[in-house]
Structure 1
Amino acid sequence: MKTVLTLFLILFYGSIQAETSKALDTLYANETYNVALFFPKPIRQGITGAENFAFTFNRDQQQNLGLLQASPGTLTNLLVICNDGSIYSYILKYRKELSKLTYFLSAESSIGNEHYQTEVSEQQKNQNITSDSLINKIDSTDYQSTCITILNSQEHIRKKKKSKYGIKLELQNIVFRDHQLYFKFQLSNTSTLDYDLNFLKLYVQTKQRGKKKSMQSVLKKPIYSHQIPTKITGGAKASFVVAYDKFSMAKDKRLLIDLNEANGERHIDLKVNSRVINFPN
């Protein structure tokens, strides 16, 4: 069942340009040693397909290092997504005696990238519907009017913000209107280097119970965005609104807002607890 779930996650992250003819490499682990896996880019998400394997990494401050341990049990696989969207998949096997404790994994071993986009059909072009890092910009007067109102409003929640590398991401307001949740953000650049926005994504995360804990993440796909910038020049800031279909969260869940820089590594993860989402304006 776990293996099926992991394969589903690969499909869920979609748009993967995979080398289907390439056999997956096998990694070995046991309960005695930490097997170190060094990836080319910092790890954003990792999950194993069976409970007898545990893959741990720094979730608060993304790093290239992940640690693998195992107890005797079934054969399974490991799926890892790095902060540039690159995807890695390996077969996992338990082995009592290990001949290798450290793996330096190359970018060439990636099976694809979650940001890979197929060509837009002529019909989509004629409908003026474009895809920009999973944010669908729909020509809707109602959405646009609501977004403009929210941008101009002084109403706000208790602000949630995070600053790193001279870049500040701030969640200023959440508004519930007509079965949609509107998120108002402000992105500031106090550095002297331009910030090119690759994508802004929202994930609902559920913490798994048990001795070897992991974090399950589900991507929330936006239905509309208004004035989302592609570049923030040094010393500048921009406010924008992104709309989603209404959702709520249980106490054991949290929202992860993932801001990713194009052609750079100034990535920011902003965590928001469920109460903020469940009590919008």
Structure 2
Amino acid sequence: MKHLIFISLSLLVTVMMTAQTSFHLDTIYANDQKNVALFFPEPIRQGITGSENFVFTYNREKGQYFGLLQAKPGKESNLLVVNKNGAVFSYIVKYRKKLDRLNYFIPSSKSIGNEKPIVADSTTIVKREDTIDNKTYYYNKFCSYLIDRKQRIGRLKKRNEGIVLRVENIVFDKKELYFVIQIENKSSLDYDLNFLKLSVETRKKGKKKSLQRLYQEPVFKYDLPSKVKENETVRLIYVLPKFSISNDRRTVFELNEKNGERNLKLKISHRFINNPD
């Protein structure tokens, strides 16, 4: 039965693709030691691999947005996924002993077509508009994943009068660095946030030592609060284009209180920036 369903889906996709220009299918690597997670824009209705040495599991009852891929050594194959809304996704899957990537956040634009092609008649015109662009969608999904996961970086924190600023992790993904940040208010007064800035400091050499500071503007901010209430802990993420620094430089987070003096500066060594998770 499984093979009959796969054949019918394969024929369907083949027919759809003949009416379009040639596709370049992306490749996803997996092994039998780790789970590779694939996050889709809509719940998965069906997912099938073309070979038994690849296994794609997903929640068939609740229709969740993600599935898990594992592979055993063998020849390459393909993975076909159909979302609840009929969007079809197709990938080449290969076994690789060492994996460079464990999570794939797949935007709607990666769909090769729809299970039921939409045809507009003379009286009805169907328009598709994305309320959120693909990049923002990806940032939100990946940041949400990072917030929920267990962080691995060393103890990077600074405290001042009951306010604790901590960098829990620095993660590299798709040419960008994700700074997972925690602000904890252990005081009896609310903390009104004026700004949280990131800069790279260079220590100038010579008789008159000074610091040159260059501020880095995030391309995306996730869950940045305007206030941290008393005895509250918040977590947020800053996303910046990937950069590296030499050992005479350091990265500094500046947390500034609005109408207050509980300000903090958290200094991060080059070794953390150059060796992200």
TM-score by length of 1: 0.50
SS in 1 for 2:168: strand
Native 8 Å contact 1:159 1:173 kept in 2: no
Aligned to 1:280: 276
User: Could you tell me which of 227, 231, 245 is aligned with 1:249?
Assistant: 245
| 1:1-281 matched pairs, under 5 angstroms | 140-281=136-277
Instruction: Give TM-score scaled by structure 2 length.
Output: 0.51
- Inter-partner Cα distance in structure 1 for 2:155 and 2:195: 21
Residue in 2 that maps onto 1:37: none
Residue type of the alignment partner of 1:161: K
Q: Counterparts of 1:187 and 1:202 in 2: how far apart (Å)?
A: 15
Amino acid aligned to 2:241? D
Counterpart code for 1:277:
I
Aligned-residue offset at 1:273? 0.6
Question: Residue 32 of structure 1 aligns with which residue?
Answer: none
Question: How far, CA to CA, are the matches of 1:156 and 1:145 in structure 2?
Answer: 20
Amino acid at match of 1:228: L
Q: In structure 2, what residue type is equivalent to 1:209? A: K
Pair 1:139–1:198, CA change in 2 (3 A): farther
The whole-number CA distance in structure 2 between the counterparts of 1:150 and 1:232 is 21
Q: What secondary structure sits across from 2:146 in the alignment?
A: helix
CA contact (8 A) 1:207 1:215 kept: yes
CA 1:265–1:139: 2 relative to 1, 3 Å = farther
Larger RCO of the pair (alpha carbons < 8 Å, separation 6+): 1
- Deviating beyond 2 angstroms after TM superposition, the runs of 4 or more aligned structure 1 residues are none
Distance of 2:212 and 2:218 partners within structure 1 = 19
Report the Cα distance in structure 2 between the residues aligned to 1:157 and 1:228, rounded to whole angstroms.
Answer: 21
Deviation at residue 146 of structure 1 after TM alignment: 1.0
Q: CA deviation at 1:209?
A: 0.6
Which structure 2 segments of 5+ residues have no match? Answer: 1-130
Aligned-partner residue type, residue 156 of structure 1: R
Q: Return the offset for 1:139.
A: 7.4
Q: Structure 1 residues 227 and 139 mapped into 2: Cα distance closer, same or farther (>3 Å)?
A: farther
For structure 1, the 5+ residue unaligned runs are 1-127, 130-137
- Aligned pair count reads 146
Q: Secondary structure at the match of 1:210?
A: coil
Is the partner of 1:154 in helix, strand or coil? coil
CA RMSD of aligned residues (A): 1.7
